[in-house]
Structure 1
């Protein structure tokens, strides 16, 4: 597979999580042929400085990829601005990007899945985002991959042609929604995506991901997803600045390569219903408190 997408890994003050994330990435098919860019945010507080330094020391010694570049921020940007800046930089240079954060364990076939999908749907304007995480859906009849409306943020990829539609201005996003769109955007009220939009407007979060999903949604875009997760998030241990110690997102990482992709560029109704059922069963406990889909750790 030629012309592989660069990998952007965003890290902060969790050297142990970063080490595990890198260890799993290195076990990926295509790792040694891939360029890795590690974006290290600067410490926000004095107490973060030691851990940030440890994380940077770890990152500086990474080998096993085609190339490794460590980008050390001089001032604290926060996760949202760091990701927006890093993704913008790489899609401008390479036309596409694969995005990881410091608490994501991957299947050996995650990079292969991303690169295959990036190549396959490069010229399909409605396909705007490729996600690698998926809930443990009780739907064995689903195909290996499917299109869906919401953009997940735990291991994802996109193209410059899609990222150009990213709208960071929350007011410009809000004014394009009506009641019907809000209903559709929030998976018929099963997910508190709209609450996250309102919380961003109120200054209660600084999520890049909810603005990205809103940008995709308002363009009529679709996201590609695996029916069996290719990512496990290990950030639910309370170590993240905005993370909760929860286990509802625990999944079994698929150990099989993805070999089937949808031909029809349309949302899969069976997958949509399966996700809606999953969210409905869990809404009563965690979903009202935190949406770990949309990262806002710093």
Structure 2
């Protein structure tokens, strides 16, 4: 099979979309407009309920829910509107489970993840192509490789999952465990060490998974990352960025700093689809993701400094600490 084998050209978009909304009318309108342009035949909308201690939030949540009524294309709509607030961990994970109870596969977009128009066809083609390939656990629209092209295809395979616009299958999500019940045993296993051979990366994620398991982090996506790693899953990752997070700032739950280099990243056209010849993880890309997207390079610095010869330390001292 060649990288450009003749698969059927997608003539129309017929994949279901789950739209996760809450209390941000401004970003919701922009992302809804992108969905409206794609015209999915089935749209699932899930909204967490307002927090009782936030004055005026009930009205804003109601305003967001009104936006979804502006559907002017042929579309089956299903809603999961919560009366009370469940929080990010339960509201999002339960909404995704609800979605995959009805759909074999589909696309998930949050209210601050603005996709390039090609994001939808990209996801649809890969959902169809890898529907029965249990090595592939997800498709992301995010690229954090700073312009570095990985491989010769339009996308590469990573162990890292990015949630700012993604897609998956019921067959994969059914293994999801929001409580990370398997973590204590898995964290002590040879399998965990083999899957995280980089000691710095392993310590980084061990800390995150410990806090997630203990309930110190109220989120859903770290559990999905752990699940993918546990089963050695791969995530198809585009060689250009297809989704921009427009939700950084004070109103965000997690992305609260609008000074982040990852805020409102530029999106680009993917162009003609070229499929990778081999299905294998790009180890160098994953190392780059950890070092520069997750800032692992900063964690490495003290360890690397201790291993440098005295001549190198002297050079760094002259060039960096005494610059100018």
User: Which band: TM-score by shorter chain?
Assistant: 0.7 to 0.9
Greater Rg, structure 1 or structure 2?
2
What is the SS of the residue equivalent to 2:217?
coil
Give the 3 Å change call, closer, same or farther, for CA 88–171 of structure 1 in structure 2: closer
TM-score by length of 1: 0.84
Offset, 1:172 = 1.4
Select the residue among 239, 260, 285 that pairs with 1:271. Answer: 285
Select the residue among 58, 81, 90 that pairs with 2:67. Answer: 58
Select the residue among 190, 200, 204 that pairs with 1:189. Answer: 200
Structure 1 partner of 2:260:
247
Q: Aligned equivalents of 2:195 and 2:219: distance in 1?
A: 20
Offset, 1:281 = 5.9
Aligned pairs, number: 282
Q: Aligned equivalents of 2:243 and 2:140: distance in 1?
A: 9
Q: Aligned equivalents of 2:125 and 2:44: distance in 1?
A: 20
Select the residue among 138, 144, 151 that pairs with 1:135. Answer: 144
- Contact 1:36 1:65 survives alignment (8 Å): no
What is the SS of the residue equivalent to 2:100?
helix
Offset, 1:32 = 2.0
Offset, 1:182 = 5.5
Structure 1 partner of 2:24:
14
Offset, 1:33 = 4.1
Q: Please give the per-residue CA displacement for 1:216-269, whole angstroms capped at 9, x wherever unaligned.
A: 100111111112111010121221133321322142201234502224221023
- Contact 1:32 1:64 survives alignment (8 Å): yes
Q: Aligned equivalents of 1:274 and 1:223: distance in 2?
A: 15
- Contact 2:248 2:256 survives alignment (8 Å): yes
CA RMSD of aligned residues (A): 2.6
Select the residue among 54, 67, 76 that pairs with 2:76. Answer: 67
Give the 3 Å change call, closer, same or farther, for CA 65–173 of structure 1 in structure 2: farther
Structure 2 partner of 1:205:
217
Q: Aligned equivalents of 2:120 and 2:70: distance in 1?
A: 21
Q: Aligned equivalents of 1:163 and 1:194: distance in 2?
A: 22
Give the 3 Å change call, closer, same or farther, for CA 173–65 of structure 1 in structure 2: farther
Q: Aligned equivalents of 1:113 and 1:137: distance in 2?
A: 20
Offset, 1:109 = 0.5
Offset, 1:51 = 1.1
Choose 99-108 or 44-53, whichever is displaced more. Answer: 44-53
Structure 2 partner of 1:49:
58
Give the 3 Å change call, closer, same or farther, for CA 67–123 of structure 1 in structure 2: same
5 Å-filtered alignment, 1:132-171, equals 132-140=141-149, 142=151, 143-171=153-181
Q: Does 1:256 align with 2:270?
A: yes
- Contact 2:130 2:136 survives alignment (8 Å): yes
Structure 2 partner of 1:222:
234
5 Å-filtered alignment, 1:24-43, equals 24-27=34-37, 31-43=38-50
TM-score by length of 2: 0.78
What is the SS of the residue equivalent to 2:109?
strand
Q: Aligned equivalents of 2:290 and 2:255: distance in 1?
A: 23
Offset, 1:282 = 6.8
What is the SS of the residue equivalent to 1:13?
coil
Choose 203-212 or 75-84, whichever is displaced more. Answer: 75-84
Give the 3 Å change call, closer, same or farther, for CA 283–167 of structure 1 in structure 2: same
Q: Unaligned regions of 5+ residues in structure 1, if any?
A: 286-298
Q: Unaligned regions of 5+ residues in structure 2, if any?
A: 1-9, 300-324
